[in-house]
Structure 1
């Protein structure tokens, strides 16, 4: 344990022989990927996107692979997960969580290809025929009620039955009275635009001190929202349960946590109604299945976070098909340039009724088109969501 054992017979995928990383630049953010090769000629891929540290995660992923993966059998997912997490001793925090997640995805891709089955067949099978998704990123424009309302209508017209957005501008700790009114007006305009039958989720981005969060519970109640996401900073996790008891709608969160150990206090304090682990941050298939099971013991639902590329959408669909307490999946796919999809041939499309259906291809069914990556190198863009105008997502 914690060292690669090459004396055991290898499975049908062979042994890991090489690991490489790639980066793709877009107008929004850089996406990161890992590709793992075996001595049987197979390759598996995973997403290692970090919001602002993609290059650093790529370097860490390659280092981890050199220390803990070469010669390993990709079918030994539990041992590989432990080795990647525990083997560096100081764990690795958010970047380590992203690297481990992408490598775990690649192991499952390799297993599926070796066996000739889609990954979801290896992670609990399907307890549904499709996964419902909601749109995020659709509101990248002027923070004006008419603008947001028009964009919301356009998004619903594409078939989405659920939307999420952050109406709070650069808010932090508190909102000035004018900003509070403006934020509420944005929510009101969007709800009126989409009507009563579309789910509307409100993102808090862990912005607010308790008094402001409590005020927002009252202000948001008339708009029949599906959840209020991360209203408080996670440094104040002990206050989430108190806020949750006051809310007339569910409280969600969890994207900041990278494994069951970091989630431990969230579960212990009954902090949320809905957990939001990210398949490219919270440990990949191996760990998110455990998080979903623990959530089920607490009567919580699962709505995976996914502010990543269409590869993570595909990964999340494979995982979500086998999660009994799945609620819905996030996607930013509608925000992205067409070449992103060219770089990831085989990603699962969102249907015109806001769902993603059963995959059929072996593994994840996706490859990386190196020539497209070469045409679109990293941009190293950065936008600060506590800076005025962040929602335009055009910062450099």
Structure 2
């Protein structure tokens, strides 16, 4: 097995990677970080390396790994680049390493698309559909009450979304008191009543409950016809997911915390979920997410990509999602961000009536505006989802 290729051989007209840089944009939601690769033929490629709390470490790692593995590389050697970074650097996954590898893989695909004059989806399986359905998350900022959730759910559906995800469980961890369980279910009931029967609702568990609580919740949630119950158990209890699935009438979803197919191995082997949720910006980029999706198809599972990052990740994931036969829906926070985010990420695809249309520009289709990044430096915020009032997303 080769961990390198002859870098003196003739290359494509994309040239060879000559420079690696990072940029970070501060927002109220989180700091969005990016890697930008340059080639000696004047092309650039961008990938997202956002980590919600360890952005500086991700940026530092991508520069260091770039010096070891990227400078002088042909961006078309995507498998070799992926293997050099993962195996040759003894990376072995994890959140920061997985994010860095994902961003670099996006960036080299961006360069390839630009060099060939085609959108990235033409390089990753083409299109199985004409558009990608999306659902809204993060829309429930505010008070944790049935009335507040209902009001905001109506507003979000009014913006054209036909699917919503939310966490009604407050600070619950392990178990829920009777009072907290009642309030959580009242919130779900209020949202269902507010949006009616034709809107898909997905309930987020944030991997927080012990088996007795999760088992009771799958029964309690049954009347509300939810599309899935996401991560009801910690992944340290992955062997119990299959047991919970046998008790649930709704699909169980999860997998956003895994960073490559090797970390997914036990999920597939144990049939832990009905719907996997790989994140293009965490699970190894285009090169790896295609393999993960193929394994899911082999196991009879659907794919609903996770995406709690910037509109760049949304647009980049659309390219991957177009070629997934078993795609269900894509997550997005895009409609809740400050207006300047769109200025910083020029070319991000818009959402219309809950869908995103086919990309047309070469590569991923987004260029970074450095001047906007300079105006909005990192904020290094943090919000603790196990502290009271986290739903307000107050990160001051």
The two structures have a TM-score, normalised by structure 2, of 0.99
Structure 1 runs not aligned, ≥5 long: none
Partner of 1:294: 295
Say whether 1:10 aligns with 2:20. no
Alpha-carbon offset, residue 5 of structure 1: 2.9
Query: Does residue 379 of structure 1 match 2:389?
Result: no
Tell me the residue number matched to 1:207: 208
Distance (whole Å) between structure 2 residues aligned to residue 138 and residue 32 of structure 1: 22
**Equivalence for 1:184:** 185
Match of 2:109 in 1: 108
| Residue in 2 that maps onto 1:305 | 306
Q: Distance in 1 between matches of 2:276 and 2:13?
A: 35
In 2, Cα distance between equivalents of 1:345 and 1:122: 22
- Measure, in 2, the Cα distance between the counterparts of 1:92 and 1:301: 23
Distance of 2:107 and 2:60 partners within structure 1: 17
Per-residue CA deviation, residues 24-55 of structure 1 (Å, 9 max, x unaligned), is: 10011111101000000000000001111111
**Secondary structure of 1:314 counterpart:** helix
Q: CA deviation at 1:78?
A: 0.6
Equivalent residue of 2:383, what SS? coil
- SS of residue matched to 2:340: helix
Which whole-Å deviations, capped at 9, do the CAs of 1:83-112 have from their partners, x for residues lacking one? 111121143511000000000000100000
Matched, 1:46 2:47: yes
The answer for unaligned runs of 5 or more in structure 2 is none
Q: Is 1:366 equivalent to 2:389 in the alignment?
A: no
Residue 3 of structure 1 aligns to a residue whose secondary structure is coil
More displaced stretch, 162-171 vs 386-395 = 386-395
Provide the aligned length of Structure 1 versus Structure 2. Answer: 395
In 2, Cα distance between the equivalents of 1:335 and 1:53?
22
CA deviation after TM superposition for structure 1 residue 9, in Å: 1.5
Superposed CA offset, 1:101-142 (max 9, x none): 000000100000000000000000001000000000000110
2:159 paired residue number = 158
User: What secondary structure does 2:122 align onto?
Assistant: helix
Contact kept? 1:60, 1:99, Cα under 8 Å: yes
* Structure 1 vs Structure 2 CA RMSD: 0.8
Structure 2 distance, partners of 1:55, 1:350, is 30
- Which residue of 2 is the match for residue 32 of structure 1? 33
**SS across alignment from 1:324:** coil
TM-score, normalised by the number of residues in structure 1: 0.99
The aligned residue for residue 395 of structure 1 is 395
